[in-house]
Homo-oligomer: A and B are copies of this chain.
């Protein structure tokens, strides 16, 4: 059964005083209001969240949300796929409709992270890596640095091309009223920022963020009963790679991206050339290159050229991360994959304001861990 997304919303991302439950309720309530849907009509409610227990000592957040929004007795569950929890939530919501288990499913993704120290949040996030790597003190930023070095050396790519990812995404974030950093940065600022994991510097990394995002799903055949502004899910898939990053044969290829992307595009009956706009998981600047190549938007080793020549800017042929990406919009783990789809929903329904591009189809790629599990979603606007 074809599935539609009939409403979308997100909170402002950044440093928020609310606990996770309130952030989830804020986005969820706005989403139901956007669709003018009675809470009683919601049959399933999924929460994408990695670590509410670790960050706030609070579990059962999906049941709190159902109560806060007046959804009871709707079925609820929390879906965790580390930093790809949002994409996994979209997959769960899609399955609930496609399986006929629910005729109206609310998905809310969120994470509350900024109240703990950077050391604590780094440790919570690093716990998703292979236990052997974790015990040796390897963190995701260190993998990113090693990968960036390998990429630059192997493909003779200029260091500036990585900086240009940050510059582009910040330029987009300026126009996103929900972004954590609504502020442009120039190449010199990126290249002059403190080294974190050589060759990557502070501005190659996304920030730590609080926030939430929501989507409402129904059978595509029922969408017009609710609204004319909807999108359909044309393709969706997820795939794992080795859990131990050091076991991968090719450090600059993320097989989870390749597998989930190929499956989602095949399901959609299209290829990378059929995609008009994309939201990629730029937790680190280097990841935007790896996803562009893994999804087939660029040949191996050539993504950096497209970033340098402007093809992925908002006025280019394939705008990437019009939302500002994780880099400027922020990255509340469980919210991110949902927020990617929120941006595509707004783009494909002509509601993206100053960020609007001309697009009929969009693709979101949500990366868990360091590519340990990846989901890819292909959306199409109803025209």
Contact = CB atoms under 8 A, between A and B. Distances in A.
A244 B72 CA distance: 12
Contacts of A259: 73
A239 to B, nearest CB: 4
B372 A63 contact: yes
Contact of A76 (B77, B78, B81): B81
Nearest to A79: B77
Interface stretch (A92-100, A146-154, A209-217, A279-287): A92-100
A60 B237 contact: no
B77 A77 contact: no
Contacts of A260: 75
A76 B369 CA distance: 13
Interface string A72-116: 111111111110000010011011101111000000000000000
B95 A63 contact: no
A58 interface: yes
A335 interface: no
Interface stretch (A8-16, A128-136, A162-170, A323-331): A128-136
Copies of this chain present:
2
Interface residues of A, number: 64
Interface string A33-60: 0000000000000000011011001111
Contacts of A71: 240
Nearest to A19: B131
A208 interface: no
B81 A78 contact: yes
A80 B78 contact: yes
Given A60-B369, A127-B58, A373-B63, A81 B77 contact: yes
Nearest to A92: B92
Contacts of A100: 98
A240 B73 contact: yes
Q: Which 3 A-B pairs have the closest CB atoms?
A: A60-B128, A75-B238, A98-B99
23 contacts: A1-B99, A19-B131, A50-B59, A51-B53, A58-B134, A59-B82, A60-B127, A63-B369, A63-B373, A64-B130, A67-B243, A72-B241, A72-B243, A74-B240, A75-B239, A75-B373, A76-B240, A77-B91, A77-B92, A77-B238, A79-B79, A95-B95, A98-B100
